[in-house]
Structure 1
Protein backbone atom coordinates (compact mmCIF):
# COMPACT_ATOMS: atom_id res chain seq x y z
CA UNK A 1 0.00 0.00 0.00
CA UNK A 2 1.29 3.44 -0.93
CA UNK A 3 0.78 6.79 0.76
CA UNK A 4 1.26 10.27 -0.75
CA UNK A 5 3.17 12.10 1.96
CA UNK A 6 5.97 13.81 0.03
CA UNK A 7 7.23 13.80 -3.56
CA UNK A 8 10.56 12.52 -2.28
CA UNK A 9 8.87 9.11 -1.86
CA UNK A 10 8.12 8.87 -5.58
CA UNK A 11 10.12 8.20 -8.73
CA UNK A 12 10.06 10.38 -11.82
CA UNK A 13 8.09 7.75 -13.71
CA UNK A 14 5.50 7.47 -10.94
CA UNK A 15 4.99 11.24 -10.77
CA UNK A 16 4.54 11.48 -14.53
CA UNK A 17 2.22 8.44 -14.51
CA UNK A 18 -0.03 10.15 -11.96
CA UNK A 19 0.00 13.38 -13.97
CA UNK A 20 -0.90 11.54 -17.18
CA UNK A 21 -3.80 9.90 -15.35
CA UNK A 22 -4.88 13.29 -14.01
CA UNK A 23 -4.86 14.79 -17.51
CA UNK A 24 -6.91 11.88 -18.84
CA UNK A 25 -9.48 12.35 -16.06
CA UNK A 26 -9.53 16.12 -16.64
CA UNK A 27 -10.30 15.61 -20.33
CA UNK A 28 -13.16 13.27 -19.40
CA UNK A 29 -14.49 15.80 -16.88
CA UNK A 30 -14.38 18.63 -19.42
CA UNK A 31 -16.42 16.41 -21.76
CA UNK A 32 -18.94 15.84 -18.94
CA UNK A 33 -17.88 12.20 -18.61
CA UNK A 34 -17.67 11.16 -14.97
CA UNK A 35 -16.28 7.64 -14.74
CA UNK A 36 -16.74 6.09 -11.31
CA UNK A 37 -13.13 5.12 -10.72
CA UNK A 38 -13.81 4.82 -6.97
CA UNK A 39 -17.49 3.83 -6.62
CA UNK A 40 -18.96 3.85 -3.11
CA UNK A 41 -15.57 4.70 -1.58
CA UNK A 42 -15.22 7.17 1.27
CA UNK A 43 -12.48 9.77 1.67
CA UNK A 44 -11.93 10.93 5.24
CA UNK A 45 -10.70 14.54 5.18
CA UNK A 46 -9.05 15.64 8.42
CA UNK A 47 -8.45 19.38 8.73
CA UNK A 48 -6.33 20.85 11.51
CA UNK A 49 -5.65 23.85 9.25
CA UNK A 50 -8.44 25.73 7.49
CA UNK A 51 -8.72 25.58 3.72
CA UNK A 52 -10.58 26.70 0.61
CA UNK A 53 -8.94 24.93 -2.34
CA UNK A 54 -7.97 21.76 -0.49
CA UNK A 55 -11.43 21.07 0.90
CA UNK A 56 -13.38 21.95 -2.24
CA UNK A 57 -11.04 20.08 -4.60
CA UNK A 58 -10.88 16.87 -2.57
CA UNK A 59 -14.58 16.82 -1.70
CA UNK A 60 -15.59 17.54 -5.30
CA UNK A 61 -12.96 15.15 -6.61
CA UNK A 62 -14.01 12.09 -4.63
CA UNK A 63 -17.67 12.78 -5.50
CA UNK A 64 -16.89 12.93 -9.23
CA UNK A 65 -15.00 9.64 -8.88
CA UNK A 66 -18.13 7.98 -7.50
CA UNK A 67 -17.38 8.26 -3.79
CA UNK A 68 -18.10 10.61 -0.91
CA UNK A 69 -15.94 12.87 1.25
CA UNK A 70 -16.27 13.29 5.01
CA UNK A 71 -15.11 16.67 6.37
CA UNK A 72 -13.53 16.15 9.80
CA UNK A 73 -12.16 19.24 11.53
CA UNK A 74 -10.03 18.78 14.63
CA UNK A 75 -12.88 20.44 16.56
CA UNK A 76 -15.32 17.76 15.44
CA UNK A 77 -13.30 14.64 16.27
CA UNK A 78 -11.49 13.41 19.36
CA UNK A 79 -8.11 14.35 17.88
CA UNK A 80 -8.87 17.91 18.90
CA UNK A 81 -9.47 16.77 22.46
CA UNK A 82 -6.15 15.03 22.87
CA UNK A 83 -6.70 11.56 21.39
CA UNK A 84 -3.33 10.23 20.12
CA UNK A 85 -2.83 10.39 16.36
CA UNK A 86 -2.12 6.66 16.36
CA UNK A 87 -5.52 5.90 17.93
CA UNK A 88 -7.36 8.23 15.56
CA UNK A 89 -5.64 6.56 12.63
CA UNK A 90 -6.46 3.03 13.72
CA UNK A 91 -10.12 3.95 14.18
CA UNK A 92 -10.77 6.10 11.11
CA UNK A 93 -8.81 3.91 8.69
CA UNK A 94 -11.08 0.99 9.57
CA UNK A 95 -14.13 2.97 8.48
CA UNK A 96 -13.02 4.81 5.31
CA UNK A 97 -11.17 3.86 2.12
CA UNK A 98 -8.67 6.71 1.99
CA UNK A 99 -7.61 9.64 4.20
CA UNK A 100 -6.44 13.15 3.38
CA UNK A 101 -4.88 15.19 6.19
CA UNK A 102 -4.12 18.91 6.32
CA UNK A 103 -2.13 19.50 9.48
CA UNK A 104 0.89 21.17 11.04
CA UNK A 105 3.97 18.97 11.62
CA UNK A 106 4.92 16.41 8.96
CA UNK A 107 5.65 14.02 11.84
CA UNK A 108 1.94 13.96 12.74
CA UNK A 109 1.03 13.00 9.20
CA UNK A 110 3.68 10.28 9.16
CA UNK A 111 2.45 8.89 12.46
CA UNK A 112 -1.08 8.67 11.10
CA UNK A 113 0.18 6.89 7.97
CA UNK A 114 2.23 4.45 10.07
CA UNK A 115 -0.91 3.13 11.77
CA UNK A 116 -3.34 3.53 8.86
CA UNK A 117 -4.90 0.59 7.04
CA UNK A 118 -5.68 2.77 4.01
CA UNK A 119 -3.72 5.21 1.79
CA UNK A 120 -3.00 8.61 3.35
CA UNK A 121 -2.57 11.83 1.34
CA UNK A 122 -0.75 14.95 2.51
CA UNK A 123 -3.13 17.87 2.00
CA UNK A 124 -0.49 20.23 3.47
CA UNK A 125 1.93 20.26 6.38
CA UNK A 126 4.39 22.86 7.65
CA UNK A 127 7.13 21.10 5.71
CA UNK A 128 5.55 19.97 2.42
CA UNK A 129 2.63 20.59 0.04
CA UNK A 130 2.97 17.85 -2.60
CA UNK A 131 -0.59 17.94 -4.00
CA UNK A 132 -0.09 21.62 -4.87
CA UNK A 133 3.08 20.79 -6.79
CA UNK A 134 1.23 18.17 -8.81
CA UNK A 135 -1.28 20.84 -9.85
CA UNK A 136 1.52 23.31 -10.56
CA UNK A 137 3.46 20.92 -12.78
CA UNK A 138 0.26 19.92 -14.56
CA UNK A 139 -0.29 23.62 -15.34
CA UNK A 140 3.27 23.92 -16.60
CA UNK A 141 2.72 20.93 -18.90
CA UNK A 142 -0.49 22.46 -20.26
CA UNK A 143 1.41 25.68 -20.99
CA UNK A 144 3.99 23.65 -22.95
CA UNK A 145 6.84 24.74 -20.69
CA UNK A 146 7.94 21.39 -19.24
CA UNK A 147 10.81 21.14 -21.74
CA UNK A 148 13.90 23.20 -20.81
CA UNK A 149 12.03 24.29 -17.70
CA UNK A 150 13.56 26.95 -15.45
CA UNK A 151 11.53 27.72 -12.32
CA UNK A 152 12.23 30.76 -10.15
CA UNK A 153 10.71 30.55 -6.68
CA UNK A 154 10.80 33.90 -4.89
CA UNK A 155 9.97 34.31 -1.21
CA UNK A 156 9.82 32.27 1.96
CA UNK A 157 11.73 28.99 2.25
CA UNK A 158 8.57 27.20 3.36
CA UNK A 159 6.60 24.07 2.47
CA UNK A 160 6.13 25.25 -1.11
CA UNK A 161 9.85 25.85 -1.58
CA UNK A 162 10.56 22.41 -0.10
CA UNK A 163 8.11 20.73 -2.45
CA UNK A 164 9.61 22.56 -5.42
CA UNK A 165 12.97 21.15 -4.33
CA UNK A 166 11.52 17.65 -4.30
CA UNK A 167 9.86 18.04 -7.69
CA UNK A 168 12.94 19.50 -9.38
CA UNK A 169 15.19 16.82 -7.91
CA UNK A 170 12.91 14.07 -9.20
CA UNK A 171 12.09 15.45 -12.66
CA UNK A 172 15.46 17.00 -13.42
CA UNK A 173 14.67 20.64 -14.27
CA UNK A 174 16.39 23.85 -13.16
CA UNK A 175 15.12 25.43 -9.96
CA UNK A 176 16.29 28.76 -8.55
CA UNK A 177 15.14 29.66 -5.06
CA UNK A 178 15.67 33.20 -3.76
CA UNK A 179 14.81 33.95 -0.13
CA UNK A 180 15.72 36.76 2.26
CA UNK A 181 18.49 35.99 4.72
CA UNK A 182 17.07 34.10 7.66
CA UNK A 183 14.23 32.59 5.60
CA UNK A 184 16.19 29.95 3.72
CA UNK A 185 14.93 26.44 3.00
CA UNK A 186 15.53 23.62 5.47
CA UNK A 187 19.11 22.43 5.05
CA UNK A 188 18.33 18.72 5.38
CA UNK A 189 15.62 18.91 2.70
CA UNK A 190 18.01 20.86 0.48
CA UNK A 191 20.83 18.35 0.92
CA UNK A 192 18.52 15.46 0.10
CA UNK A 193 17.35 17.26 -3.05
CA UNK A 194 20.91 18.01 -4.12
CA UNK A 195 21.84 14.35 -3.71
CA UNK A 196 18.83 13.28 -5.78
CA UNK A 197 19.71 15.91 -8.40
CA UNK A 198 22.99 14.10 -9.09
CA UNK A 199 20.95 11.28 -10.61
CA UNK A 200 18.22 13.30 -12.33
CA UNK A 201 20.40 16.06 -13.74
CA UNK A 202 18.47 18.79 -11.95
CA UNK A 203 20.17 22.13 -11.40
CA UNK A 204 19.32 23.71 -8.05
CA UNK A 205 20.50 27.22 -7.23
CA UNK A 206 19.91 28.86 -3.84
CA UNK A 207 20.46 32.60 -3.35
CA UNK A 208 19.25 35.79 -1.68
CA UNK A 209 18.92 37.61 -5.02
CA UNK A 210 15.38 37.49 -6.50
CA UNK A 211 16.24 39.38 -9.68
CA UNK A 212 19.10 37.03 -10.43
CA UNK A 213 16.82 34.04 -9.86
CA UNK A 214 14.10 35.35 -12.20
CA UNK A 215 16.48 36.30 -15.03
CA UNK A 216 15.51 34.19 -18.08
CA UNK A 217 13.24 31.84 -16.13
CA UNK A 218 10.19 30.28 -17.78
CA UNK A 219 8.10 29.99 -14.60
CA UNK A 220 8.00 32.53 -11.78
CA UNK A 221 6.25 31.48 -8.60
CA UNK A 222 5.87 32.68 -5.05
CA UNK A 223 3.83 32.14 -1.88
CA UNK A 224 2.49 34.26 0.95
CA UNK A 225 5.11 35.74 3.26
CA UNK A 226 2.87 35.17 6.28
CA UNK A 227 1.55 31.61 6.49
CA UNK A 228 -1.04 30.29 8.93
CA UNK A 229 0.32 30.54 12.47
CA UNK A 230 2.71 33.38 11.61
CA UNK A 231 0.27 36.29 11.83
CA UNK A 232 2.06 37.81 14.82
CA UNK A 233 5.22 38.07 12.68
CA UNK A 234 3.54 39.97 9.85
CA UNK A 235 5.11 43.40 10.45
CA UNK A 236 8.62 41.98 10.70
CA UNK A 237 8.17 39.68 7.72
CA UNK A 238 6.87 42.43 5.45
CA UNK A 239 9.97 44.46 6.29
CA UNK A 240 12.34 41.50 5.82
CA UNK A 241 10.83 40.63 2.43
CA UNK A 242 11.28 44.12 1.00
CA UNK A 243 12.36 43.75 -2.65
CA UNK A 244 10.83 40.29 -3.05
CA UNK A 245 7.49 41.32 -4.54
CA UNK A 246 6.85 39.79 -7.96
CA UNK A 247 5.75 42.85 -9.95
CA UNK A 248 5.89 43.80 -13.61
CA UNK A 249 9.50 44.93 -13.32
CA UNK A 250 10.43 41.54 -11.87
CA UNK A 251 8.49 39.65 -14.55
CA UNK A 252 10.25 41.59 -17.31
CA UNK A 253 13.45 39.84 -16.27
CA UNK A 254 11.92 36.43 -17.01
CA UNK A 255 11.63 34.81 -20.44
CA UNK A 256 9.11 36.59 -22.67
CA UNK A 257 6.84 33.51 -22.62
CA UNK A 258 7.17 32.97 -18.87
CA UNK A 259 4.11 32.27 -16.72
CA UNK A 260 3.31 33.25 -13.16
CA UNK A 261 2.04 30.74 -10.59
CA UNK A 262 0.83 31.13 -7.00
CA UNK A 263 -0.71 28.45 -4.77
CA UNK A 264 -3.16 30.99 -3.28
CA UNK A 265 -4.44 32.72 -1.27
CA UNK A 266 -2.46 35.67 -2.61
CA UNK A 267 -1.93 38.92 -0.76
CA UNK A 268 -1.79 41.53 -3.48
CA UNK A 269 0.75 44.24 -2.91
CA UNK A 270 2.89 41.99 -0.73
CA UNK A 271 4.38 38.91 -2.44
CA UNK A 272 2.79 39.76 -5.81
CA UNK A 273 1.44 42.92 -7.41
CA UNK A 274 -2.13 43.35 -8.62
CA UNK A 275 -1.05 43.83 -12.24
CA UNK A 276 0.93 40.58 -12.31
CA UNK A 277 -1.75 38.46 -10.69
CA UNK A 278 -4.38 39.84 -13.09
CA UNK A 279 -2.00 40.00 -16.06
CA UNK A 280 -1.75 37.77 -19.14
CA UNK A 281 1.16 35.74 -17.77
CA UNK A 282 -0.77 34.67 -14.69
CA UNK A 283 -2.21 31.15 -14.78
CA UNK A 284 -3.17 31.04 -11.11
CA UNK A 285 -6.83 30.16 -11.63
CA UNK A 286 -6.04 27.39 -14.12
CA UNK A 287 -3.50 26.24 -11.54
CA UNK A 288 -6.15 26.32 -8.80
CA UNK A 289 -8.57 24.30 -10.93
CA UNK A 290 -5.86 21.74 -11.53
CA UNK A 291 -5.84 20.98 -7.81
CA UNK A 292 -9.11 19.15 -8.50
CA UNK A 293 -7.81 17.14 -11.44
CA UNK A 294 -4.32 16.41 -10.09
CA UNK A 295 -5.76 15.16 -6.80
CA UNK A 296 -8.22 12.93 -8.60
CA UNK A 297 -5.19 11.45 -10.36
CA UNK A 298 -3.45 10.90 -7.02
CA UNK A 299 -6.51 9.23 -5.46
CA UNK A 300 -7.18 6.93 -8.42
CA UNK A 301 -3.50 5.99 -8.69
CA UNK A 302 -3.27 5.15 -4.97
CA UNK A 303 -6.45 3.10 -5.19
CA UNK A 304 -5.04 1.12 -8.10
CA UNK A 305 -1.88 0.31 -6.13
CA UNK A 306 -3.96 -1.66 -3.64
CA UNK A 307 -4.91 -4.10 -6.38
CA UNK A 308 -1.29 -4.86 -7.25
Structure 2
Protein backbone atom coordinates (compact mmCIF):
# COMPACT_ATOMS: atom_id res chain seq x y z
CA UNK A 1 0.00 0.00 0.00
CA UNK A 2 2.84 2.37 0.86
CA UNK A 3 4.50 1.67 -2.50
CA UNK A 4 1.28 2.54 -4.35
CA UNK A 5 0.90 5.82 -2.43
CA UNK A 6 4.49 6.72 -3.28
CA UNK A 7 3.84 6.13 -6.97
CA UNK A 8 0.72 8.32 -6.85
CA UNK A 9 2.63 11.14 -5.18
CA UNK A 10 5.39 10.89 -7.79
CA UNK A 11 2.84 11.04 -10.60
CA UNK A 12 1.17 14.11 -9.08
CA UNK A 13 4.53 15.82 -8.75
CA UNK A 14 5.37 15.06 -12.39
CA UNK A 15 1.99 16.45 -13.52
CA UNK A 16 2.48 19.63 -11.52
CA UNK A 17 5.93 20.07 -13.06
CA UNK A 18 4.51 19.78 -16.58
CA UNK A 19 1.77 22.30 -15.79
CA UNK A 20 4.39 24.73 -14.52
CA UNK A 21 6.47 24.37 -17.70
CA UNK A 22 3.41 25.00 -19.87
CA UNK A 23 2.56 28.17 -17.94
CA UNK A 24 6.13 29.39 -18.29
CA UNK A 25 6.17 29.13 -22.10
CA UNK A 26 5.47 32.42 -23.97
CA UNK A 27 2.28 32.63 -25.95
CA UNK A 28 2.76 32.43 -29.75
CA UNK A 29 2.38 35.74 -31.58
CA UNK A 30 -0.99 36.29 -33.15
CA UNK A 31 -1.13 37.13 -36.86
CA UNK A 32 -3.78 38.90 -38.85
CA UNK A 33 -5.70 37.30 -41.69
CA UNK A 34 -3.67 39.20 -44.30
CA UNK A 35 -0.39 38.06 -42.80
CA UNK A 36 -1.55 34.46 -42.77
CA UNK A 37 -2.59 34.71 -46.44
CA UNK A 38 0.86 35.95 -47.47
CA UNK A 39 2.63 33.08 -45.72
CA UNK A 40 3.95 30.19 -47.89
CA UNK A 41 3.36 26.59 -46.95
CA UNK A 42 6.25 24.79 -45.39
CA UNK A 43 8.27 22.86 -47.96
CA UNK A 44 8.96 19.22 -47.05
CA UNK A 45 12.51 18.13 -46.70
CA UNK A 46 14.13 16.56 -49.75
CA UNK A 47 14.09 12.78 -49.83
CA UNK A 48 17.15 10.93 -51.00
CA UNK A 49 15.88 7.37 -50.64
CA UNK A 50 12.95 7.39 -53.04
CA UNK A 51 10.18 9.38 -54.62
CA UNK A 52 7.80 9.37 -51.71
CA UNK A 53 6.10 6.13 -52.66
CA UNK A 54 5.83 4.94 -49.10
CA UNK A 55 2.87 7.20 -48.47
CA UNK A 56 1.05 5.68 -51.47
CA UNK A 57 2.13 2.12 -50.94
CA UNK A 58 -1.41 0.77 -51.11
CA UNK A 59 -2.61 3.19 -53.75
CA UNK A 60 -2.31 3.07 -57.49
CA UNK A 61 -1.57 5.76 -60.10
CA UNK A 62 -4.33 6.75 -62.44
CA UNK A 63 -4.68 4.50 -65.43
CA UNK A 64 -3.10 1.52 -63.68
CA UNK A 65 -4.87 -1.73 -64.58
CA UNK A 66 -3.46 -3.88 -61.80
CA UNK A 67 -6.89 -4.71 -60.42
CA UNK A 68 -8.33 -5.85 -63.73
CA UNK A 69 -5.14 -7.76 -64.50
CA UNK A 70 -5.35 -9.51 -61.16
CA UNK A 71 -8.97 -10.44 -61.63
CA UNK A 72 -8.24 -11.75 -65.09
CA UNK A 73 -5.44 -13.89 -63.68
CA UNK A 74 -7.70 -15.31 -60.98
CA UNK A 75 -10.58 -16.23 -63.26
CA UNK A 76 -8.56 -17.11 -66.35
CA UNK A 77 -8.84 -20.87 -65.85
CA UNK A 78 -11.98 -20.87 -63.72
CA UNK A 79 -15.48 -21.70 -64.96
CA UNK A 80 -17.75 -18.74 -65.47
CA UNK A 81 -21.45 -18.64 -64.79
CA UNK A 82 -22.17 -18.52 -68.50
CA UNK A 83 -19.76 -21.28 -69.45
CA UNK A 84 -19.72 -24.98 -68.73
CA UNK A 85 -17.09 -27.30 -67.35
CA UNK A 86 -15.27 -29.42 -69.91
CA UNK A 87 -16.63 -32.92 -69.86
CA UNK A 88 -14.45 -35.45 -68.01
CA UNK A 89 -13.46 -38.63 -69.71
CA UNK A 90 -14.59 -41.97 -68.32
CA UNK A 91 -11.28 -42.79 -66.64
CA UNK A 92 -11.22 -39.46 -64.81
CA UNK A 93 -14.79 -39.97 -63.65
CA UNK A 94 -13.94 -43.42 -62.31
CA UNK A 95 -10.92 -42.02 -60.50
CA UNK A 96 -13.00 -39.28 -58.87
CA UNK A 97 -15.69 -41.76 -57.87
CA UNK A 98 -13.12 -44.17 -56.46
CA UNK A 99 -11.49 -41.48 -54.33
CA UNK A 100 -14.90 -40.29 -53.16
CA UNK A 101 -15.94 -43.83 -52.25
CA UNK A 102 -12.72 -44.42 -50.32
CA UNK A 103 -13.11 -41.15 -48.45
CA UNK A 104 -16.73 -41.79 -47.55
CA UNK A 105 -15.97 -45.36 -46.52
CA UNK A 106 -13.09 -44.27 -44.31
CA UNK A 107 -15.35 -41.74 -42.61
CA UNK A 108 -18.06 -44.35 -42.11
CA UNK A 109 -15.58 -46.86 -40.66
CA UNK A 110 -14.19 -44.27 -38.26
CA UNK A 111 -17.69 -43.30 -37.14
CA UNK A 112 -18.70 -46.94 -36.70
CA UNK A 113 -15.61 -47.83 -34.69
CA UNK A 114 -16.03 -44.76 -32.51
CA UNK A 115 -19.40 -46.12 -31.43
CA UNK A 116 -17.91 -49.43 -30.26
CA UNK A 117 -17.62 -49.52 -26.51
CA UNK A 118 -14.68 -51.38 -25.04
CA UNK A 119 -16.56 -51.78 -21.77
CA UNK A 120 -17.91 -55.26 -22.43
CA UNK A 121 -20.43 -56.63 -19.92
CA UNK A 122 -19.44 -59.52 -17.71
CA UNK A 123 -19.73 -62.71 -19.80
CA UNK A 124 -22.60 -64.95 -18.79
CA UNK A 125 -21.37 -68.08 -20.57
CA UNK A 126 -18.18 -70.14 -20.51
CA UNK A 127 -15.35 -69.00 -22.76
CA UNK A 128 -15.96 -71.97 -25.04
CA UNK A 129 -19.28 -70.50 -26.25
CA UNK A 130 -17.62 -67.26 -27.42
CA UNK A 131 -14.71 -69.01 -29.11
CA UNK A 132 -16.86 -71.26 -31.32
CA UNK A 133 -18.15 -68.40 -33.55
CA UNK A 134 -14.65 -66.90 -33.70
CA UNK A 135 -13.28 -70.21 -34.99
CA UNK A 136 -16.09 -70.23 -37.56
CA UNK A 137 -15.08 -66.73 -38.63
CA UNK A 138 -11.50 -67.91 -39.06
CA UNK A 139 -12.63 -70.61 -41.48
CA UNK A 140 -14.88 -68.18 -43.36
CA UNK A 141 -11.91 -65.86 -43.81
CA UNK A 142 -10.10 -68.64 -45.65
CA UNK A 143 -13.02 -68.81 -48.08
CA UNK A 144 -13.10 -65.02 -48.39
CA UNK A 145 -9.43 -64.89 -49.32
CA UNK A 146 -9.92 -67.52 -52.03
CA UNK A 147 -13.07 -65.85 -53.42
CA UNK A 148 -11.39 -62.44 -53.53
CA UNK A 149 -8.45 -63.87 -55.42
CA UNK A 150 -10.79 -65.36 -58.05
CA UNK A 151 -12.99 -62.26 -58.25
CA UNK A 152 -16.23 -63.94 -57.13
CA UNK A 153 -17.72 -60.78 -55.66
CA UNK A 154 -21.27 -62.00 -55.00
CA UNK A 155 -20.05 -65.09 -53.16
CA UNK A 156 -17.59 -62.92 -51.25
CA UNK A 157 -20.43 -60.65 -50.09
CA UNK A 158 -22.35 -63.70 -48.88
CA UNK A 159 -19.36 -64.90 -46.84
CA UNK A 160 -18.86 -61.42 -45.37
CA UNK A 161 -22.51 -61.34 -44.31
CA UNK A 162 -22.09 -64.71 -42.62
CA UNK A 163 -19.14 -63.31 -40.72
CA UNK A 164 -20.68 -60.02 -39.61
CA UNK A 165 -24.31 -61.02 -39.11
CA UNK A 166 -24.18 -64.71 -38.38
CA UNK A 167 -21.30 -64.82 -35.91
CA UNK A 168 -21.30 -61.40 -34.17
CA UNK A 169 -17.53 -60.79 -34.27
CA UNK A 170 -17.63 -57.64 -32.14
CA UNK A 171 -19.66 -59.12 -29.28
CA UNK A 172 -17.76 -62.41 -29.17
CA UNK A 173 -14.35 -60.75 -29.36
CA UNK A 174 -14.96 -58.47 -26.40
CA UNK A 175 -16.71 -61.19 -24.40
CA UNK A 176 -13.75 -63.52 -24.90
CA UNK A 177 -11.29 -60.75 -24.02
CA UNK A 178 -13.05 -60.30 -20.67
CA UNK A 179 -11.71 -63.72 -19.55
CA UNK A 180 -8.12 -62.46 -19.66
CA UNK A 181 -6.24 -60.60 -16.96
CA UNK A 182 -6.06 -56.80 -17.09
CA UNK A 183 -2.94 -56.38 -19.22
CA UNK A 184 -3.84 -59.17 -21.62
CA UNK A 185 -7.40 -57.86 -21.91
CA UNK A 186 -6.15 -54.44 -23.04
CA UNK A 187 -3.95 -56.10 -25.65
CA UNK A 188 -6.79 -58.34 -26.85
CA UNK A 189 -9.17 -55.38 -27.23
CA UNK A 190 -6.61 -53.46 -29.28
CA UNK A 191 -6.25 -56.48 -31.58
CA UNK A 192 -10.05 -56.73 -31.78
CA UNK A 193 -10.35 -53.12 -32.95
CA UNK A 194 -7.74 -53.71 -35.65
CA UNK A 195 -9.52 -56.87 -36.76
CA UNK A 196 -12.91 -55.15 -37.03
CA UNK A 197 -11.42 -52.34 -39.10
CA UNK A 198 -9.76 -54.78 -41.51
CA UNK A 199 -12.93 -56.85 -41.73
CA UNK A 200 -14.83 -53.88 -43.17
CA UNK A 201 -12.41 -53.67 -46.11
CA UNK A 202 -12.89 -57.19 -47.47
CA UNK A 203 -16.24 -56.86 -49.25
CA UNK A 204 -15.77 -55.35 -52.71
CA UNK A 205 -19.47 -54.56 -53.16
CA UNK A 206 -19.50 -52.62 -49.90
CA UNK A 207 -16.22 -50.80 -50.30
CA UNK A 208 -16.61 -49.89 -53.98
CA UNK A 209 -20.40 -49.77 -54.16
CA UNK A 210 -20.34 -46.51 -56.12
CA UNK A 211 -17.94 -47.83 -58.73
CA UNK A 212 -20.17 -50.35 -60.47
CA UNK A 213 -18.82 -53.34 -62.33
CA UNK A 214 -15.11 -53.31 -63.16
CA UNK A 215 -12.93 -55.44 -65.34
CA UNK A 216 -9.37 -55.80 -66.50
CA UNK A 217 -6.65 -54.05 -64.53
CA UNK A 218 -9.11 -52.41 -62.13
CA UNK A 219 -10.70 -55.74 -61.27
CA UNK A 220 -7.26 -57.22 -60.59
CA UNK A 221 -6.44 -54.27 -58.35
CA UNK A 222 -9.63 -54.63 -56.32
CA UNK A 223 -9.16 -58.39 -56.12
CA UNK A 224 -5.69 -57.94 -54.69
CA UNK A 225 -6.99 -55.36 -52.21
CA UNK A 226 -9.79 -57.61 -50.90
CA UNK A 227 -7.49 -60.62 -50.69
CA UNK A 228 -4.94 -58.69 -48.63
CA UNK A 229 -7.69 -57.42 -46.32
CA UNK A 230 -8.94 -60.99 -45.76
CA UNK A 231 -5.42 -62.26 -45.08
CA UNK A 232 -4.69 -59.39 -42.67
CA UNK A 233 -7.99 -60.01 -40.85
CA UNK A 234 -7.17 -63.71 -40.48
CA UNK A 235 -3.74 -62.85 -39.11
CA UNK A 236 -5.23 -60.50 -36.51
CA UNK A 237 -7.78 -63.12 -35.48
CA UNK A 238 -5.01 -65.71 -35.07
CA UNK A 239 -3.17 -63.21 -32.89
CA UNK A 240 -6.29 -62.78 -30.77
CA UNK A 241 -6.98 -66.52 -30.44
CA UNK A 242 -3.38 -67.10 -29.35
CA UNK A 243 -4.20 -65.24 -26.12
CA UNK A 244 -7.06 -67.58 -25.25
CA UNK A 245 -6.97 -70.63 -23.00
CA UNK A 246 -5.59 -73.52 -25.05
CA UNK A 247 -7.98 -76.14 -23.69
CA UNK A 248 -11.05 -73.99 -24.35
CA UNK A 249 -9.79 -73.11 -27.84
CA UNK A 250 -9.19 -76.76 -28.73
CA UNK A 251 -12.70 -77.60 -27.55
CA UNK A 252 -14.14 -74.86 -29.76
CA UNK A 253 -12.14 -76.06 -32.75
CA UNK A 254 -13.39 -79.59 -32.23
CA UNK A 255 -16.94 -78.31 -32.68
CA UNK A 256 -16.16 -76.47 -35.94
CA UNK A 257 -13.32 -78.23 -37.70
CA UNK A 258 -13.71 -81.76 -39.07
CA UNK A 259 -11.75 -84.38 -37.16
CA UNK A 260 -8.41 -85.29 -38.72
CA UNK A 261 -8.47 -88.50 -40.78
CA UNK A 262 -7.41 -91.61 -38.91
CA UNK A 263 -4.10 -93.06 -40.09
CA UNK A 264 -4.29 -96.32 -42.00
CA UNK A 265 -3.26 -99.36 -39.90
CA UNK A 266 0.15 -100.74 -40.74
CA UNK A 267 0.22 -104.36 -42.00
CA UNK A 268 1.37 -106.98 -39.50
CA UNK A 269 4.96 -108.25 -39.93
CA UNK A 270 3.84 -111.90 -40.41
CA UNK A 271 1.58 -110.93 -43.28
CA UNK A 272 4.39 -108.94 -44.90
CA UNK A 273 6.81 -111.90 -44.64
CA UNK A 274 4.24 -114.33 -46.05
CA UNK A 275 3.56 -112.06 -48.97
CA UNK A 276 7.25 -111.62 -49.70
CA UNK A 277 7.91 -115.39 -49.31
CA UNK A 278 5.14 -116.31 -51.72
CA UNK A 279 6.50 -113.97 -54.32
CA UNK A 280 10.00 -115.44 -53.91
CA UNK A 281 8.76 -119.06 -54.20
CA UNK A 282 6.80 -118.31 -57.30
CA UNK A 283 9.79 -116.74 -58.96
CA UNK A 284 12.04 -119.71 -58.14
CA UNK A 285 9.49 -122.23 -59.33
CA UNK A 286 8.97 -120.51 -62.64
CA UNK A 287 12.68 -120.20 -63.08
CA UNK A 288 13.10 -123.94 -62.45
CA UNK A 289 10.36 -124.82 -64.91
CA UNK A 290 12.04 -122.80 -67.63
CA UNK A 291 15.23 -124.74 -67.08
Considering fraction of residues, name the structure with more helix: 2
Please tell me the TM-score bracket, short chain as reference.
under 0.3
Considering fraction of residues, name the structure with more strand: 1
With the length of structure 1 as denominator, give the TM-score of the two structures.
0.18
